[in-house]
Structure 1
Amino acid sequence: MRTAAAVGSLALLPLTAGCGGGEKEDARKAAADTVVTSAPSAGVVAPAKVEVIAGLIGCEAEIRTEADELREGTCHGAKGDYLITTFPEERLKLTWLDAASLYGGTYLVGTRWAVSAEENLLEEARPRIGGTVQRLRGTSR
């Protein structure tokens, strides 16, 4: 959850701010290092609403960030904790994932949403909410 908290704190940064030339290239390289596993579950696509995704996972969301760029909530399930982030536009999700790639981590990603949790919890949630598991490699050596 530390990685998720670090990524969540990125929400406070302007998502549309430009980067210097070298930083932008580093971010693109990090995003290129993203590893995606599995196709989305057939016929299952969770809507981009924190509370609905939490309900499908089997927990109740506690909203911790309400911003124009995203909504973020935590929920505590029987087997572990989840961080659910939703976005009003797909491009904002892609920007967020690009920033998250600096820290690494594993996410279950759908249209306009991303969920962070232990990988086994993401695999269990995937049949209920859809999405693909993405393993982002951090830039730290």
Structure 2
Amino acid sequence: MATACSGSGEDDTSAKSKPSEVSAAPAAGVVAPAKVEVIAELTGCKPKIRIDADELRQGLCHTDKVDFSITTFPEEKYKDTWLESASIYGGTYLVGSRWVVAAKPEMLEGFRAKLGGTIRELSGLGPSPAPSTS
């Protein structure tokens, strides 16, 4: 038992040092997977929670530059299902471990520098939208 406990302590020490070694996006080690509120804080906003369900949580952020949404998922499978559904509409998203940020494409690179993740462009697979009457 003593060996197992001491081995665990060594693993904890090495795990604690790893986030400081991340160079592309230092905050990403802290964020992913994260809560909506943690991601929002790193992007400079206080989110208004719009959806709080078993499959996902979604918060809306409003800043001087842009409005955007942050969606987090308890498991990767829920994120994958969400992205598959979103692909019908198309759009560009910043995707991380169990989270997605939806914003104007020109804002996503700045968010990526703070959060990590991958910018993904989803092609619309559904029919073209009908002309708006409003």
Is the TM value for this pair above 0.5?
A: yes
Q: Which position in structure 2 is the counterpart of 1:106?
A: 92
1:68 aligns with 2:54: yes
Over alpha carbons, which structure has the higher Rg? 2
Which of residues 98, 109, 134 is equivalent to 1:123? 109
Partner of 2:54, secondary structure, is coil
Deviation string, structure 1 residues 52-81 (Cα, Å, up to 9, x no partner) = 111100111000100000000000122101
Unaligned runs of 5+ in 1: 1-40
RMSD of Structure 2 on Structure 1 (CA) = 1.6
Alignment partners' CA distance in 2, 1:80 and 1:43: 23
1:91 aligns with 2:77: yes
Q: Which position in structure 1 is the counterpart of 2:37?
A: 51
The letter for the 2-side match of 1:116 is A
**Runs of 4 or more above 3 Å deviation:** 41-44
Give the TM-score of the pair, scaled to structure 2: 0.71
Unaligned runs of 5+ in 2: 1-23, 129-134
- Between Structure 1 and Structure 2, how many residues are aligned? 102
Give the TM-score of the pair, scaled to structure 1: 0.68
The higher-RCO structure (CA 8 Å, 6+ apart) is 1
1:79 aligns with 2:65: yes
